[in-house]
Amino acid sequence: MIGVDSNIIVYALNSDLPEHKYCVELLENVATGKEIIAIPSIVFMESYHALVYAYKFDHLEVKNRLITIVDSDNIIIFNISTSTILYAFEIAGQYNIGGRDALITASLLENNVKKIYSHDHDFDGINEIKRMDPVKN
């Protein structure tokens, strides 16, 4: 199982972005059962925020599209606990990364997920997790 970062969902749901075709293909593989992925719960709110506030999508449209993803049988959602937050503080300090990326990493690692689909190079510096980029350059 591989985790998913917010940017993959944002790219998949925004057809105006050049990364769209690669990320929507990944979500199609999930929808058809070719792949099972893990998504930390913060990823949904981070994706919502980017699509609504940065890309100016209608909030109800974004909510409904994200609910479709949440309801998928091929996605496991990891909740954020107090221990996840405490672990994220350690990761942020150790690797000098932002709080959201640290929280996503902590959530995945707590659940023994050691790979993440992301277009964000910040994950490259974290020894415990391997970044896999579905976007072909």
Provide the CATH number for the domain around residue 69. Answer: 3.40.50.1010
The answer to whether position 43 is within a domain reads yes
Across the range 106-131, mean pLDDT stands at 96
Q: What average pLDDT does the segment 68-96 reach? A: 96
Q: Are the C-beta atoms of 123 and 129 separated by less than 8 Å?
A: yes
Query: In the beta sheet, which residues pair with residue 115?
Result: 130
> pTM score, two decimals?
0.93
Which of 118, 36, 108, 111 is CA-nearest to residue 72?
Answer: 36
In a domain, 136, yes or no: no
| Residue 16 CB burial class (10 angstroms; 0-12, 13-18, ≥19) | exposed
The answer as to whether 135 is a domain residue is no
Answer yes or no: is pLDDT of 40 > 70.
yes
Looking at the chain, the whole-number percentage of residues with pLDDT higher than 90 is 99
Report the domain count for the chain.
Answer: 1
Instruction: Indicate whether 46 belongs to any domain.
Output: yes
Range of the domain at 61: 2-124
**131 in a domain, yes or no?**
no
Residue 25 lies in a domain: yes
- Whether the per-residue pLDDT at 41 is higher than 70: the answer is yes
